[in-house]
Structure 1
Amino acid sequence: MAISKHFTSKKLSALLIFMFAANGSLFDAQAEQTSVMPLHYVADKAISSNPEVQQAWHAFKASMYGIDAARSGYLPTVDVSASTGYEKRNYGIESDYSRNTAELSLGQMLYDGFRTSNTVKRFESIQLIRYFELLDQAEKTALAASIAYLDVQKFTELVELAENNLKEHESVYQQIEQSVGAGVARAADLEQISGRLSLAQSNVMTEYANLHDVSARYLRIIGELPVQGTVKAQLSDDAIPISINQALDIAYKNSPNFYASLYNIEAQKANADSQKSAFQPNVDLSARYGFQDRDELGLNESRSEARIGIDVRYNLYNGGLDSANLDQAYQEVNVAKYQRDQTCVDIRQNLQVAYNNVQVLQNKIPSLAKHKESSSKVKYAYKDQFDIGQRTLLDVLDAENESFQSNRAYTAALYDRQSAILSMLAEMGKLLETLNVKSDKFPLLSELTDDPIALNADSICPKFDVAATIGRQAFLQKKKQQDNAYMTVTAMPNYLTIPVTPPANTFVDDDNDGIANETDECPSTPAFTEVDEKGCTKYRSNTSSVEIGIPFLADSSVVRPEYMQEIARLADFLKQHPNKNVEIQGHASLEGSVQYNRKLSEKRAFSVAEILIQQYGISPNRVSSLGYGVDQPRINEISVRANAANRRIEAVITESGSQSTAMQSGWS
C-alpha cells in the first residue's frame, strides 16, 4: 500500500511519526509541558523551515510519483498517429497529390517475467527509504536545534559567571589600589591584581565570543535569534534506559536510519528480481486500426485496416547484457547489506558514547557540586582572613579563580548532560517523541505499507557493553570495599570477601538456611526463607512473594554466576505454572542519594527480569521489573544491618490478568 502523493508543505510543520506502538510514554503529559516545552518549540520551528528537512520532504514526495510510474506497466498504452502532406513524383498516373493517413493502436502487457511487479516493489521500498530518511533528518534537526538552545543558555550563564568574577576582581583591585595609595600594601600586590584583572576581563570576552558563536548556530538552525530570558529546559531521567542493552534494543526498533538501510536491501532485492525478467518471454495484447485516402500507387482510393492479436517476444541473445545486469544487481544487494551493517555499528558506537556520557556526567555532577560549594566557602573565608592579615593576596586570588572555575565546570556539566541525553534519544529514534513534536496529518508507517519489516535485532546487530570491559570498575574498587560491608551480616556469606576453609567435621552454614556450605547450591538464601535439600528457595503453588538472595557488588547490576541458581528455580516455577506472572522488585538501603538508589534498584531488577526472559525463555509479557529505591525499607534506619535488610530483590507472583497496567509496563 502506498500513500497518496497529494500532500502540502504545511503538513511539515511538525514531524514526529510514531513508527511503532510505544511500550510506554517517556514523560507524563504534565512533565512534557513544563520541562521540554522550550525544546519542543525550537525543534518544531527548525523542522518546519530547515532546508535539509525540506529537501528530504520533497525527496519523499518524489518517491510517490516513482511508484505511480512503475505501476503504469500494468495499464494499457493507447497511441494515435496521423499525417497529411503533399507529394510529387515523376511516375504513376498522378504526378502530384495530397495524402492523409491515420492510425489508432492499443497495447496491453500480459506477461513480462514479473518485471513490472518487481519494479513496483522496488519503488515502494524506495518510498519507505525516503520516508525513514525524512524521519532521520527530522531527528537530527531536532537534536541540533535542542542542543543549540541549551548551548545558548549555557553560555549565557557562563557569561554571567565571568562577569561576576570580573566584578570580584575589580573590587579587590580597588581595595589594593587604595591600600597602595595609603602606603599599607606593596606595589607588587597592585601588579599582581592587575594581571589577574586582565585575565578576568579576557575570560568575559571569551565567554561572549562563545555565546556569539552558539547564537549564530542557533540562528542558522532555527531561523531566528534566541530570546533572552527563555524558559530553562529540563529533561527527566525517566528518559534514560536502565541499561545500554535496553537502549540498543530501543534503537534497533526505532532508529529511522537503521530502517532506511533495511528497506534499501529490499529495494535492491526487488531490482535483482526485475532483472531476471530479461530471461523470460514478453507477451502483449495488441490492436490497431488505420485509415488512408490513397493507396501505395497514389490512386485516390480510401483504405482502412484493423488488427488484434497477441505478440510474443523472447530474446535469445543480446551480447550478455542481461547476465551482466543481473550480476550487477546481486552485487548491489551485497552493497546494501554491508551498508546496513555499517549503520548498525555506527548506531552502536554513537549510542554507547552518548549513554556513557550521560552516566559519567551524572556521577561527576555531585563531585562538581561539592567542589563548587567548598570553593565558594574557601573564597569567602580567605577574603575574611586577608582582611585581618592571615592570608596573602595570592591566596585570595587563587581562591577566587578556583571558585570561578568550579562554578563554570558545574554549570557546563549540567548542560552537557542534557545534551548527552538528547544525543542518546536521537540515536534511539525517540527524540521527537520525547519532545512531543508530532502531526496527526503526516503519514504513519501503516499508511505506507501493510507489511513492515519484522527484524531480529539480536542477529542483525549484536549488543556489547563497552563500559563493562574497560577499567572503570577498577576505579570504583575503593568505593566497593566500603559499600560491601553489609555482606558480612545476616544472609551474606562471609566467603564473598575472604575465602574460609572450615575445620574438618565442622558444620558451616553462612546463610543460616540449615544446609551446609559444601552442599548449598544457593549460598545466599535470605533468612527465614523456606529452602529445599539443596539450599534453594522452595516454591509452592500458592507462593505470592519471595526474596531472591543475590548480593550485588557496589555500583553494579550484574548477577554473578554463583547466584544464577535462584533465578533458575524461579524460572522453573513459572514454567510449571504458565498462569503465573512475576514482577521483579528492586529495593535499596536508605544510605546515599535517593535518585541514585532508585536507578540502581531499577537496573538490578531489570537484570534479573532480563535473565528470566533471555536465558530461561520466560515470555516477556509475563515478566515485569520495577525499582522502588528507598520507598519500601524493611528497617527505617541507616546501619550495617539495616542496609543489608533493605538491599534486596523480591519476586511478587500473581495470577495472569491480575497485574496492574503499571506493573506490566515496567518491562519496556
Structure 2
Amino acid sequence: MNSKDKKFSLLALAVLLTLGAQAQTLPDPMVQAVRKAVTTNPEVQARWNGFKAAGNERDVARGGYFPKIDLTATTGREERDTPLNDYGTYNFNAAQLTLNQMLFDGMFTANETKRLGYAKLTRYYELLEASETAALEAVRAYADVVRYRELVDAATQNYVEHKQTTQQVEERANAGVGRRVDVEQANGRLALAESNLLVELTNLHDVSARYLRVVGEKPPASLPALPEPFKLGTMPDSTTALMRDGLQGSPTLNAAVENVRAYKTAIESSKAAYFPRLDLRAYASNDNNTGGISGGTRVNGIELVLNYNLFRGGADKARERQAVDQREQARDLQEKACRDVRQTLSIAYSDVRSLNEQQKYMDQHRLATEKSREAYRQQFDIGQRTLLDLLDSQNEYFEATRSYINSRHNQATAQARTLAGMGQLVSTVGVKREDLPSAQDAGQDRAGIDPGELCPIEETLVDTMDKIKAQTVIPQRARAATPAPQAAAPTKVSLAADALFDFDKSVLKVGGAAKLDELVAKIKGMQLDVVIATGHTDSVGSDAYNQRLSVARAEAVKAYLVSHGVDVKRVRAVGKGETEPVADNATAAGRAKNRRVDVSVQSLVPAK
C-alpha cells in the first residue's frame, strides 16, 4: 500500500470514528423512534407518494415527443337502399392503422416537461421538509417523555419530603411541643405537593399520547435519559455560518425556489398557443363492403397536418396573464419562506446557546438549594429554623430541580430544531430512507442557493450575558446617606442655522463648527444630566421636508458634540420642523430667525 492509500485509509478511519463517537451520544431508542417516524409517518408517506406522482406526471408530458399509433377496426351488417339501386342486406368490415407524430407544437411539450420537472423537485423538497419535521417531532416526543418521567420522579420525591415533614409536625403537636397552626401550614404545603405531582402525571400522559401519534407506537416502559452534556450534532460556530449553510440546505426554501422555476416555465408553456401545430400523419386502411361498394378497398397515405388557431376569444392572453400572476404569487411565497426559515434558524440557534449557558446557572442553583435544604432540615430538627423556612427550602429545591430538568431537555430540542431548519437532522441521526434519491437523481440541475442574493442574511444583534456583566457597574453602598444631586436650571443656547449650515443642507460648515466649539468649551467640566439639540426651520417647503431637515441638523449637532467628548448617553436630538417659530415667516428676517438649532444644557449640582 503506497503512502497516498495509507493517508486515505487513515482519513476514512478518522471520519468513521468521529461519526461513531457522535452516534454514541444518542440513545438507541431515540434513533429507532426517529427512524420509525421518518419511514412510517402518514404525512411523510403522503409526501413520498406525491413525489412519485409528480414524476409520473412529468412522464405523461414527455410522451408528447413520441408518435401516437391508433388502430380502429369495425365489423357489422347493414341494409342499404338508394334511389338508384337496392343493395339489400350485406356484411361489412373495416380496419385502419393511423400514426401521428408531432413535429412542432410551439415548444409546448418541451416547456411542459421542464415545468413538471421543477414541480417534481418541489415535491421532492417538500418530502425532505416533511421528513425533517417528522424527525424533529420524534426527537421532541422522546425528549418530552424522558423529561416528564424525570419530573414525575422529582414531584414524587417532593411529595415524600412534604409527607415526612407533615408527620413530624403532627407528632410534635400531639406531644404538646408543637403548634397546631404548623400542622395546618404543613398540610397546606402537602396538598400543593400532591397537586404538583398530579400536574406532572397529566403532562406525562399527554406527551406519551403525542409520542404514539408521531412514532406510531407507545413509548417503551424504560427509556434511557439524555446524556449530559447532550450533543445531537455539530452546530455552526457563528450566526453567519448558520444562515449561510442553513438557507442553502433548507428544504422549505429550496421547495419555494423550485416552485418559482415551475411557474416561470408555465409562462413559456402558455405562449405555445400563439404558434401553429404541425403533425406528420400516416395511415393505412383495408375495407370490405363499405360505402355501398362491394368488395375490398385498400387506402394508404401520408400527410402533413397544420393547425393554426386564429381566434379564441382572448383565452390565450388570459392564460398567459394567469401564469404571470401565479409566478408572482410563487415569488411572494418564496420571500415568506425566506423570512420564516431565517426566523426559525435564528431563534433555534439562539436557544441552543442561551440554554447551554443557562444550564450552568440552573445546576448551580439546584446544588446550592439542595445543600441549604439539608442544612435547614438539620437546623429545624434542633429548633433553629422555623417550619416555614424548611417548607420554603424544600419547595425552592423542587422548583430548581424542575427548572434544571426543563432547561436540559429544552436545549436538546433546540439543537434538533436548528438542525431540522438547516435540513440536516435526518442525516445527523442517520435514518434516511433507503428509497429516497439524491437531488441530482431527482433532476436537480442548478447550483445551490445564494443566500446573499435570494435571502440576505440579517443578523439580529443582542448583547450577550458576558457583555452586559462587563458593562454593568455595581454601585457600592454608601456608609452614610448623601444627598442626591439635583438638576440645575437648564442653560439654553440658540444658534442660527445659517451660521451652522449652508442653505438647505445638514452638513456643518467650517464656521459652524467654530460656534459649536464655543459651546463645548462652556459645558466642559459640567456634571451633565442631559443635552438636547432641537432643530427648527422656516415655513419654506413642505411640512414633511422641513421636519426631516430639522432632525438631520439636530443629529449633526449631536454628532459634533459627541465627537468632542460629550457622553453620547446624555445627548438627544429632536426635530420640530416649522412648528415652533420665534418670528413671523412672512419676512426674510423672520424666516432667518426661525432657522435655528436650540441647544438646552441641563447640569447636575450637589444638593445643599
State which of 78, 85, 90 in structure 2 corresponds to 1:97.
Answer: 90
| 2:506 aligned residue | none
**In structure 2, distance between residues paired with 1:402 and 1:293:** 102
Contact 1:100 1:293 in 2 (8 A): yes
Match of residue 292, structure 1, among 272, 287, 291 = 287
Which of residues 126, 131, 140 in structure 2 aligns to 1:133? 126
Cα distance in 2 between the residues matched to 1:261 and 1:145: 25
Matches within 5 A, 1:161-560: 161-234=154-227, 235-236=230-231, 239-296=234-291, 298-439=292-433, 441-449=435-443, 451-466=445-460, 468=461, 470=462, 472-473=463-464, 476-480=467-471
Q: Distance in 2 between matches of 1:233 and 1:35?
A: 8
User: Using a 3 Å threshold, how does the CA distance of structure 1 residues 454 and 28 change in structure 2: closer, same or farther?
Assistant: closer
CA distance in 1 between counterparts of 2:155 and 2:449 reads 52
User: If you compute each CA radius of gyration, which structure gives the higher value, 1 or 2?
Assistant: 2
2:434 and 2:302 map into 1 onto residues whose CA distance is: 51
Q: Which amino acid aligns with 2:338?
A: C
Bigger mean CA offset, 73-82 vs 221-230: 221-230
Give the distance between the partners of 1:265 and 1:213, measured in 2 at CA: 40
d(CA) in 2 for partners of 1:330, 1:453: 25
Secondary structure of 1:361's counterpart equals: helix
Q: Displacement of 1:478 after TM fit?
A: 3.3
Instruction: Report what 2:23 is aligned to.
Output: 32
User: Please, what is the CA RMSD of the aligned residues?
Assistant: 2.1
How far is the alpha carbon of 1:279 from its aligned partner?
Answer: 1.0
**Structure 1 runs not aligned, ≥5 long:** 1-23, 484-668
Structure 2 contact 121–444 (Cα < 8 Å) conserved = no
Which SS does the other structure have where 2:87 is aligned? coil
Residues of 1 paired with 2:241 and 2:373: CA distance? 45
Task: Name structure 2 gaps, 5 residues minimum.
Answer: 1-14, 475-608
Question: Contact (CA 8 Å) 1:36, 1:435: kept in 2 or not?
Answer: no
Offset of residue 207 of structure 1: 0.5
Q: How far apart, in 2, do the equivalents of 1:204 and 1:117 lie?
A: 66
The code of the aligned residue for 1:168 comes to: E
SS at match of 2:348: helix
1:582 aligns with none
- Which of 37, 40, 46 is residue 49 of structure 1 equivalent to? 40
Structure 1 position 71 matched with structure 2 position 32 = no
SS in 1 for 2:86: coil
Counting aligned pairs with the same residue, the percent is 36
Q: Could you say what secondary structure the match of 2:25 adopts?
A: helix
Q: TM-score, normalised by structure 1?
A: 0.66
AA of the residue aligned to 2:70: D
Partner of residue 507, structure 2: none
Q: Is the 8 A contact 1:26 1:239 kept in 2?
A: no
What's the secondary structure of 2:198's corresponding residue?
helix
Q: 1:383 to 1:117 in 2, by over 3 A?
A: same
Counterpart Cα distance in 2 of 1:385 and 1:361 = 35
Instruction: Report deviation, 1:374.
Output: 1.5
What SS class does the counterpart of residue 452 from structure 1 fall into?
A: coil
Matched residue, 2:582? none
Contact persistence 1:27–1:238 (CA under 8 A): no
Amino acid at match of 1:275: S
Question: How far does residue 36 in structure 1 lie from its aligned partner after superposition?
Answer: 5.3
Could you list the per-position Cα deviations for residues 238-276 of structure 1 after superposition, in whole angstroms to 9, with x for gaps in the alignment? 622122221111111111111111111111122111111
Tell me, in whole angstroms, the C-alpha distance in 1 between the residues paired with 2:406 and 2:300: 84
Correspondence list, 1:625-636, <5 A: none
Task: Check whether the contact 2:103–2:280 (CA below 8 A) recurs between aligned residues.
Answer: yes
C-alpha distance after superposition, 1:521-563 (max 9, x if no partner): xxxxxxxxxxxxxxxxxxxxxxxxxxxxxxxxxxxxxxxxxxx
SS of match in other structure, 1:94: strand
Q: Secondary structure at the match of 2:441?
A: helix
* Structure 1 CA distance for aligned equivalents of residues 16 and 334 of structure 2: 29
Q: Which amino acid aligns with 2:279?
A: D
Q: Secondary structure at the match of 2:262?
A: helix
- Separation in 2, partners of 1:220, 1:376: 38
SS of corresponding position for 2:303: strand
Supply the AA of the counterpart residue of 2:224.
V
Amino acid corresponding to residue 274 of structure 1 in structure 2: S
2:491 matched to which residue of 1? none
Compared with structure 1, are the counterparts of its residues 242 and 480 closer, same or farther at alpha carbon in structure 2 (3 Å cutoff)? farther
Compute the displacement of 1:479 (Å). 2.9
